[in-house]
Amino acid sequence: MRQKSFADGSFEKLRKRTRKEQFLDEMEVIIPWKELTEVIESFYPKPTGAGRRPKGLERMLRIYFMQHWFALSDPDAEEALYDSHTMREFAGINLGEEPAPDETTILNFRHLMERHNLGDEVFRIVNEYLKALR
């Protein structure tokens, strides 16, 4: 866990946890992130010497899930990552070290998921995982 800063809001004594925070905390535990990233990994671009380095796969997958959970378009997802500390924390983004993925990066990841029909496979794995928890 990284050190808290003023930007984290760690000095707010009277702050109430929101439903969004509670929901994302539950999803952190429920969703089998490791298994899902393994399904997508072979399709995800590898870093090369030229051009921008791809963002972390799990980070992009988490953003993809938040787009579905909160009905966010690609531009809205980028905006939400800058606007919401809770969503940045869930995605593992520290604005003191790097910018949030831009809407084009988010769009490219969504298109990768659609092009290889990975959304259906991810949904199937999550359903199997949830059935096993019963």
Q: In the chain, what are the domain boundaries? A: 54-134
Instruction: Say yes or no to pLDDT of 113 above 70.
Output: yes
Buried b (16+ CB within 10 A) or exposed e, 70-84: eebebeebbebbeeb
The closest alpha carbon to 63, from 9, 104, 5, belongs to 104
pTM reported for the whole predicted model: 0.84
Q: What is the pLDDT of residue 4?
A: 55
Q: How confident is the model at residue 8 (pLDDT cuts 50, 70, 90)?
A: low
